[in-house]
Structure 1
């Protein structure tokens, strides 16, 4: 389902299940989180999520598995727990994560890209969240991420109607950060910039952004992290690099 390629500080995880338009099975979720964590353990400072299949990012959850869930309470809980657990692990990675979306991105595929820090859509990207068209719901954690990105009104529009929108509209409402002719090409510059940033700062800022999105405006944990950073090696290197008019070279 997933291929991992790592080039120095940048890792690329590609969805590669062409026969099912990159539909994600229950067991695939843990594999995805495992690969992302492995990439970080092996030195990646940026993780890109992309598709290896032309024209589709992900069709969402695997319909064959969904059709088997009626009457299976254990399977229902397993499906929700697998999806939510993997996306929480992805969101908690201490490095930058960027989704490159060229083609269709639907249902659980949207949940996947929302768990990333940044989302870049190609001009052919399309998005839809169709649970109301299937008579089901959406995990609360993913609804929270959607509302944080687009607000409750646009979240209601997308979820209650299942409307399909293009890249420009997704950008307008805040579901993605930018639109490019090719998302795969556009993410490379962002990934390089993130990989060159201080890993200490990236991890600290990601925690603070997540807290702010959850409604936290202040907290001693974040205040202490901000203050301690001035004593760190990364700050010393950043200041020195600025004075020497060169790019900083942060350690592990």
Structure 2
């Protein structure tokens, strides 16, 4: 099962988490949901990795849950809830990752695939990508965590449109409503990813990590001014600020440590 969720390291301080089941359009199985947090933890533990991409193999991001497993997974409410624990564990691993996570989306990004993309910090979609959140087509309910992430991306009214209809959105509509942050041609995707990797690799690890902590607090509705102030104050005594300030004064690029 490790081969279905792969962590590929790159030379530019980035790594790609591959949803690697292209023959099934990267349909997500219970075991794949369960494996994803371990791969995220592996990326977090590697100090050489500053940025994580999430991507589907074979030109498709993820077409949703594996239909073949549905009779077993949805046989009882208890079985469905046990499966949902694995799904939410995967979502939480991505959302709480201290390193930036960017979804690179080609083709279908539907159901659980769209949920995974929403758990990432940023979403870049190709022009031919399409999106859907479809529990209403199955008589199911989208949970609070998934619904919160959808609302934060597109707003309350658009979330209602997407959830009530279960319809597919093309990439133009996804961009206009905030479901994705950027829309590119397929042939541009590699270069855009490399550009993000270069910029984030050149930035301060401390700054990014602390900023993600503050964003997470605000996302959760907690405006903890004291915790935010502590992170702000600590930055002035850190090695990253010393290097960043010295580089600024010398008008040279900063060389922040990798950790």
Specify which of 123, 127, 141 is matched with residue 131 of structure 2.
127
Q: Deviations over 1:128-164 (max 9, x none)?
A: 1111011101121111011011111000111110111
Name segments (4+ residues, structure 1) moved above 4 Å.
Answer: none
Partner of 2:5: 2
Alignment pair present for 1:216 and 2:216: no
Alpha-carbon contact 1:80-1:139 (below 8 Å) kept: no
Looking at structure 2, the residues matched to 246 and 69 of structure 1 have their Cα atoms a distance apart, in angstroms, of: 56
Looking at structure 2, the residues matched to 158 and 186 of structure 1 have their Cα atoms a distance apart, in angstroms, of: 28
Alignment pair present for 1:187 and 2:193: yes
1:190-205 pair list within 5 angstroms? 190-205=196-211
User: Cα offset for 1:195?
Assistant: 2.2
Specify which of 177, 181, 194 is matched with residue 177 of structure 1.
181
Looking at structure 2, the residues matched to 193 and 75 of structure 1 have their Cα atoms a distance apart, in angstroms, of: 44
Looking at structure 1, the residues matched to 117 and 40 of structure 2 have their Cα atoms a distance apart, in angstroms, of: 14
TM-score normalised by the chain length of structure 1? 0.94
Looking at structure 1, the residues matched to 73 and 6 of structure 2 have their Cα atoms a distance apart, in angstroms, of: 28
Alpha-carbon contact 1:50-1:184 (below 8 Å) kept: no
Partner of 2:66: 62
**How many residues are matched?**
251
CA distance 1:22–1:249, change in 2 (3 Å): same
Alpha-carbon contact 2:22-2:56 (below 8 Å) kept: no
Q: Deviations over 1:154-209 (max 9, x none)?
A: 00111110111111111110111111112343222112212221111111111111
Question: Which residues of structure 2 form unaligned runs of 5+?
Answer: none
Looking at structure 1, the residues matched to 96 and 75 of structure 2 have their Cα atoms a distance apart, in angstroms, of: 33
TM-score normalised by the chain length of structure 2? 0.92
Looking at structure 2, the residues matched to 184 and 167 of structure 1 have their Cα atoms a distance apart, in angstroms, of: 18
